[in-house]
Amino acid sequence: MKPREICKFMIPLLLLCLVVTGCWDERPLDRRSYVTMLGIDMTEQNLFRVFAQVVIPRKLVGGGQGGGGGEEKTFAILSAEGTTLLEALRNMETVESRSLDFGHVRAYIFSEKVARMGISPLIDLFMRSPQFPSDVWILVTKEDLGKIMEKKHFAEQMPAVFIDVFFKGSGQQTSQAIPMPLWEFHRNLVNTGLEPFAPSILLKRDVGEAPGGGSTDKKEDEDKEANLQIKGTYLFHRGALAGELSAYETQYFNWFWRKRQFGTFVIEDPRFPDRNQTITVQKVDHLVDPFYSPDGQISFRIKLDIVAFLDESLGFTIKDSEQMKLIEQTVRHKIEQDLYYFMAKLQQDFRVDPLGLGYKFRRRYPKVWSQLNWYEEWPKAFVKIEVNVKFRNRGEIQ
């Protein structure tokens, strides 16, 4: 190529570089307000009320993640209302001198009222908009959402940090809550044979009576002493709230999703009436086999192999292997009974399939699946449960 031709080619490129230099949406770091958590509620006038937990940078100086940083809060709560979620977020900017940055959001909390109306459109907004991250935890609360958002956790600087550490912590030893990121909730929402779920977040009141009795002043005192608590699970059907699992039932729910395969159970010692034993489940392996009979009956065979510890036997020595087998049979019987009750609750009370059994049936019988309505067939499906329990210790020093 001749030098003149090269100049004709390079000059337009150089001019183009001058035009496109810089970022059209550039915002200085010191002019941003970083949002760490969003709460979505509905007013009595059916307007969206949005709460945003915003970091106060000057309050974080000198503080650490593991400490509460004294009595002074390291965050502020902004709120606004609108006919749509996006309008409420835009209205929030009228009280903030800096632009809101949602790139550091760690949790979305929905009120129970919003969850009952359906959160599919809200999830769609969060998934489509690049300003909202998709690896964010989703939670639902029956409490006053404003109190949840502004509650200062005793061990962490912000509630958002507590939620993030709670679900990411490798040392977390409770299966009474199940983690649910936004992307997974959306996947379960749009996939046939899967249904979404979300953990529950509450205020654990350590003083006085539970809400519903007593004076207003006493309730306010309880809220001041309360701590944040994550336990239990909300179940959804096509994006709308369908039911709620207790913290105890959530332990079984975790087993099927292989998220937290442990749990704690208390049984009555089969050798001594009125004496209890504490059982800790260490590992759970489960197998789900779907079947379709020629007469059109759908059934599932669920087998669970459980490894457990007898952590507390209240000093009553287990003398031989026969006594150990008796305790194993007692635990097996209890878990089987609990699981049958759990399945009946899903099939008859809530009529939802959050375990994804329909997804497993669809993979095994794709042609049959295309001809049926799973949400009508699921309550009629037969479920057989088999449990095998093996203990690794006797709960005593040998």
pLDDT interval class at 68 (50, 70, 90): very low
Q: In the predicted model, is pLDDT for residue 154 greater than 50?
A: yes
Q: Indicate whether 151 pLDDT > 60.
A: yes
Q: Is residue 207 assigned to a domain?
A: yes
Give the domain CATH number at 361. 3.30.300.210
Q: Is the pLDDT of residue 168 over 60?
A: yes
**Mean per-residue pLDDT over the chain, rounded:** 82
pLDDT band for 215, please (50, 70, 90 cuts).
very low
- Same domain membership, residue 364 and residue 235: no
- pLDDT at position 64 over 60: no
Residues 53 and 170 in one domain: yes
Q: Specify whether 312 is located in the same domain as 234.
A: no
More confident residue, 98 or 138: 138
Q: What is the pLDDT of residue 243?
A: 94
- pLDDT at residue 163 is higher than 50: yes
- Alpha-carbon distance values, 103 to 33, 90, 131, 188, 354 (Å): 10, 16, 6, 24, 30
Q: Is residue 80 part of a domain?
A: yes
Query: Is 10 contained in some domain?
Result: no
Contact criterion met (CB below 8 Å) for 182 and 109: no
The mean pLDDT of 9-24, rounded to a whole number, is 59
Total of domains in the chain: 2
- Whether 18 has a pLDDT exceeding 60, the answer reads no
This model's pTM is above 0.95: no
Could you tell me if 166 and 226 lie in one domain?
Answer: yes
Is 350 in the same domain as 236? no
Q: Which domain holds residue 389?
A: 261-398
Least confident segment among 130-134, 212-216, 343-347: 212-216
